[in-house]
Amino acid sequence: MIKLIQISDCHIDDDKLTMGADTQLNLEKIIAEIAKLSFDALLITGDLTHNGTLSAYQRLKELLTPIKQPIYVFGGNHDQVEHLSDVFADNLFSTISLDNWTVVNIDSVQPNKTSGRVTQAALNTLDKQLGNIKSEHVMLALHHPVVPMNSSWDDSLSLENPQKLFQTLGKHSKIRSIIFGHAHEAAEFTRDKLDIISCPSTALQFTNEPRIGFNIYNLHTNGMLDWQTQWI
């Protein structure tokens, strides 16, 4: 069994307060809890920083130093690609191999837009990737929600073309789950027998939930997945 931890939407900035929250202190608390756990890898699913400054990514890297396990990241709509690549070049990924599971990153970020879209070129690449994967089970990870959140979240800020994504996914039988961030809330959905899971923010939630948190996934060798949100 593989244990994967997901954090999302850290929104680290040069200012102490971002959106009314001390995002650096909150992430420090989250990392302190994660560092106590036994797990195989940490995944950060976008909006690592709030304004994409180089110093914010450098500060984030400092905050992550207690984590000794592999760390994998990709950007969200708040991130700045060049600065993210400068500081986290060794942590960016297309796929992650974890025993008989593969985690695949789907780029859903549009330049200068809050909502997401997976381009046709990205869908074509994903189709080829999924066809070539040798592992038995696949988890997909992206920044934007792929289903309506059924909450106070504005779904117009989610993925704009989920139907196109699901058409591509429907060709492949190894996919077990889709995980994402962006909505700043914990939630679980099912579509086409897939577990679809939203990760809370380490900064603050957009719901009435006052706590911060992260998701813990147990990826079983038989393809089963169980998970929990750890709140603090």
Q: Which of 56, 50, 94, 54 is nearest to 76 (CA)?
A: 50
CATH, domain range 2-231: 3.60.21.10
Domain boundaries along the sequence of the chain: 2-231
pLDDT per residue over 51-81, tens digit each?
Answer: 999 999 999 999 999 999 999 999 999 999 9
pLDDT digit string, tens, across residues 156-212: 999 999 999 999 999 999 999 999 999 999 999 999 999 999 999 999 999 999 999
* Three-state secondary structure call for residue 7: strand
pLDDT (0 to 100) of residue 22: 98
Quote the pTM value.
0.98
Instruction: Tell me which residue has tokens 């995002």.
Output: 23
Q: What digits encode the pLDDT tens for the residues 4-28?
A: 999 999 999 999 899 999 999 999 9
Q: Is-contact 9 192, C-beta < 8 A?
A: no
Q: Kindly state the DSSP code that residue 217 receives in the 8-state scheme.
A: E
Query: H helices then E strands: how many in the chain?
Result: 5, 11
pLDDT digits (tens, 9 = 90+) for 113-169: 999 999 999 999 999 999 999 999 999 999 999 999 999 999 999 999 999 999 999
Nearest to 201 by CA among 187, 184, 217: 184
